[in-house]
Amino acid sequence: MSSTARKYASQNQSIRKVSLNSTGSSNSELDSISIDYARIYNEKLLWKRILDLFFGVIGTCILMLLYPFIALAIKLSSNGPVIFKQERTGFDGEIFDCYKFRTMHTEQQSKGVNEPDITKQNDERIFPFARFLRKTNLDEIPQFINVLKGDMSLVGPRPYPIRENSYWNTTFPDFYQRFSVKPGLTGLAQAYGLRGGTLNIRHMHERLTFDLKYIKKRSLYMDLKLIYLTFKKMVTFNTEGN
């Protein structure tokens, strides 16, 4: 286990006691999927990097073709930059700049110190054209640059913003295990409808279970299947995006 991962793992000593019961009346023991962190952390999958480079180049070409039109629509819809850059937590707990097309007005209310900035259903900060981008996942195609840079993989657990990551890391004792692989542009949880901002304990536990299941069983076949399912959701406007 890396020094960064050990740091996150040590936070388990201050894990918040959480309940999967919606009423909060009783605490339930969270089921855990066991993975060989050290083996997966040190695993170098040549097929995965080739897949990332292949689709990363294709995705970046698509980005270059669509950029002028999307940039114009964003500028006409809202003041501010076209690309939104946000620090997120990736492989080994390292911080990297994650790119997206901006989908919110720049004038945003500040959150509490410990409160993650979650995008909610019908969030008023999202401007109209941005809802189309989020519905089709087109807001995330700049992340193909992150894939080519090596910050992300095409498929893997989604990267969370730093504050949101810290929040869940002190909720679930095995959350840090997501850092054993690169975060993905899409993932098992997202392909099966578990996406979007949430502070719901049960919902997030289900997502974490899907993430750890992917990490444990990932394969070329699984990655190709998840890429197909994600593309299918995009073209059918069934991405469950907020």
The 10s digit of each residue's pLDDT in 139-174 is 999 999 999 999 999 999 999 999 888 889 888 988
Exposed e or buried b per residue across 42-62, where buried means at least 16 C-beta atoms within 10 angstroms of its C-beta: eeebeebeebbeebbeebbee
Q: Which of 35, 28, 3, 27 is nearest to 208 (CA)?
A: 35
Res. 9 pLDDT band, cuts 50 70 90: low
Tokens of 79: 């003041």
- Find the mean pLDDT for residues 37-54: 91
Burial of 98 (0-12, 13-18, 19+ CB in 10 A): buried
pTM score, whole prediction: 0.83
User: What is the mean pLDDT of the segment spanning 182-207?
Assistant: 89
Average pLDDT over residues 226-232: 93
pLDDT for the residue 13: 46
pLDDT band for position 196 (cuts 50, 70, 90): confident
